[in-house]
């Protein structure tokens, strides 16, 4: 499959770590130009890279950071929203404060909204693509994940609404199950190393993102791609 991403102008948020970093590396390996946006310092990357520091919850800093990358590249072809947080995972509902709930939605939902809002004027109306990180947690849950699941369900709905609002720009999201990244290590620890527990790599998610960013998926729009090894397809029926 030819992705034809060489020379494309790409902006990835949350690109200093985990899935965002794997996406940035994968786009660079295809010859794309990559804007690396994070609130944390990003590692050195080989290729045509513009690095910007911004907090995705801060509209002024997002407007400036997106504008800086798009200005340097002369526009944007692809935007990928990976910045996200998981906490307070494992906290009982009764102990979860409204402030914690709101802080998580600010990063995982408002951050994606601000990214697309400020990238939209720069996105190519002929073939532009947005890929947002949702999660299988938009569809399934475990105890203590109410704020995170609510935020990822909102990203799926945001994706569908944005695909209607941005003519000529495809907007899709990916919904991976557990991915071995610093976020998942912090939340789950050694569970990730149990052979019976299906865990994907950040590079697996990057493959899904690059497909949705490329013209190979030109007919796919407003979709949530659930990648969970088929676990959620299994009925609870004991057979
Ligand atoms: N790891 C998993 O199991 C998993 C599964 C499904 C979906 N996801 C989603 O994938 C995305 C990436 O997660 P990851 O596992 O790579 O996590 P990670 O912690 O390794 O990376 C997240 C990055 O986002 C950045 N970030 C966080 N808040 C920010 C803010 N306010 N402004 C700017 N940057 C900010 C962090 O600095 C970090 O570099 C998240 O949206 C996460 O919810 C992760």
Confidence of residue 57 (pLDDT cuts 50, 70, 90): very high
Q: Which residues line ligand 1 (CB under 6 A)?
A: 14, 16-20, 38-40, 55-57, 82-86, 107, 111, 133, 135, 176, 178-179, 181-184
Q: How far does residue 237's CA lie from ligand 1's centre (Å)?
A: 34
Query: What is residue 196's predicted lDDT score, i.e. its pLDDT?
Result: 87
Given ligand 1 and candidates 84, 134, 149, which is best to mutate, with the most ligand atoms within 8 Å of its CB? 84
> What are the tens digits of pLDDT across the range 2-14?
999 999 999 999 9
Query: What is residue 84's predicted lDDT score, i.e. its pLDDT?
Result: 98
Per-domain residue ranges of the chain: 9-225
Minimal-distance CA residue to ligand 1 atom 1? 179
Q: How far does residue 22's CA lie from ligand 1's centre (Å)?
A: 12
Closest atom of ligand 1 to CA, residue 176: 6
- The stretch 25-37 carries a mean pLDDT of 98
> What are the tens digits of pLDDT across the range 142-181?
999 999 999 999 999 999 999 999 999 999 999 999 999 9
> What are the tens digits of pLDDT across the range 172-227?
999 999 999 999 999 999 989 998 889 999 999 999 999 999 999 999 999 999 99
Confidence of residue 1 (pLDDT cuts 50, 70, 90): confident
Higher pLDDT, 126 or 205: 205
Query: What is residue 88's predicted lDDT score, i.e. its pLDDT?
Result: 78
When the pLDDT of each residue in the chain is averaged and rounded to a whole number, the result is 96
CATH topology of domain 9-225: Rossmann fold (3.40.50)
- For residue 88, say if its preceding peptide bond is cis, omega within 30 degrees of 0: yes
Catalytic center residues: 148
Q: How far does residue 38's CA lie from ligand 1's centre (Å)?
A: 10
Model confidence at 229: pLDDT above 80: yes
Query: What is residue 6's predicted lDDT score, i.e. its pLDDT?
Result: 98
Q: How far does residue 13's CA lie from ligand 1's centre (Å)?
A: 9
Closest atom of ligand 1 to CA, residue 19: 16
Confidence of residue 87 (pLDDT cuts 50, 70, 90): confident
Minimal-distance CA residue to ligand 1 atom 32? 55
């Amino acid at each position: 499959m030819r992705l034809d991403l060489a020379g494309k102008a790409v902006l990835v948020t949350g690109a200093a770590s985990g899935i965002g970093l794997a996406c940035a590396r994968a786009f660079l390996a295809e010859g794309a130009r990559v804007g690396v946006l994070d609130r944390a310092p990003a590692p050195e990357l080989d290729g045509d890279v513009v690095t910007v520091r911004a907090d995705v919850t801060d509209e002024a800093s997002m407007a400036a950071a997106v504008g800086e990358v798009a200005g340097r590249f002369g526009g944007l072809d692809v935007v990928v929203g990976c910045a996200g947080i998981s906490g307070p995972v494992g906290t009982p509902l009764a102990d979860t404060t409204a402030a914690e709930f709101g802080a998580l939605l600010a990063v995982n939902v408002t951050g994606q909204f601000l990214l697309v809002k400020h990238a939209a004027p720069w996105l190519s109306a002929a073939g532009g693509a947005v890929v947002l990180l949702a999660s299988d947690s938009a569809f399934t849950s475990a105890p203590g994940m109410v704020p995170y699941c609510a935020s990822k369900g909102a990203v799926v709905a945001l994706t569908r609404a944005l695909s209607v609002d941005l003519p000529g720009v495809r907007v899709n999201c990916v919904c991976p199950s557990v991915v071995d990244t610093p976020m998942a290590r912090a939340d789950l620890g050694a569970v990730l190393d149990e052979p019976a527990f299906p865990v994907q790599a950040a590079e697996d998610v990057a493959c899904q993102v690059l497909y949705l960013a490329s013209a190979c998926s030109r007919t796919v729009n407003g979709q949530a791609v659930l990648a969970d090894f088929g676990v959620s397809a299994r009925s609870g029926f004991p057979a």
